[in-house]
Amino acid sequence: MQMSAAGLELLKRSEEFCGHAYLDAAGLPTIGCGHQPVHPECSPNGIAEPQGAALLANDLRGAEEAVARLVKVALSHGQFDALVDFCFNIGAGKPAASTLLKDLNACLYAAVAGQLLRWDHVGMQ
């Protein structure tokens, strides 16, 4: 499954494209729509939106793959989109051992909603 067009548009609105490098809320170098460059990636002159869209598509693939690998229950497309956005923002590794994932895979959906709220602060572990 891939993130839907509606999910992608929502993510783009929340991330807001920025063509020059900046420090995000966690103090990490970021460019485009939430892309965090890795060495030796460098854009001293900034990037245009098409390049930002390509970076975002590549970053989302990793988040989509993480959701597909970690989640063992059926998801609606909206649930999948939300989890991809979640993994995109916190990284694919952090949810792997989380109570959120354990609750989700146990079909404890009401508990999952509460667990998502525990991750709404920069720097959460």
**Tokens coding 74:** 């059926």
Q: How far apart are CA 15 and CA 68, in angstroms?
A: 23
Domain ranges for the chain: 5-117
| 64 belongs to the catalytic site | no
- The predicted pLDDT at position 108 comes to 95
> In CATH, what class is 5-117?
mainly alpha
pLDDT of 92 reads 81
pLDDT value for 125: 47
Closest by alpha carbon to 20, among 48, 53, 61, 62?
48
Task: Give bridge partners of residue 32 from the DSSP assignment.
Answer: 18
Catalytic residue among 9, 15, 16, 49: 15
Question: pLDDT truncated to tens, each residue of the chain (125 aa)?
Answer: 999 999 999 999 988 999 999 998 888 899 999 999 887 777 888 999 999 999 999 999 999 999 999 999 999 999 999 999 999 988 888 889 899 999 999 999 999 989 988 887 665 54
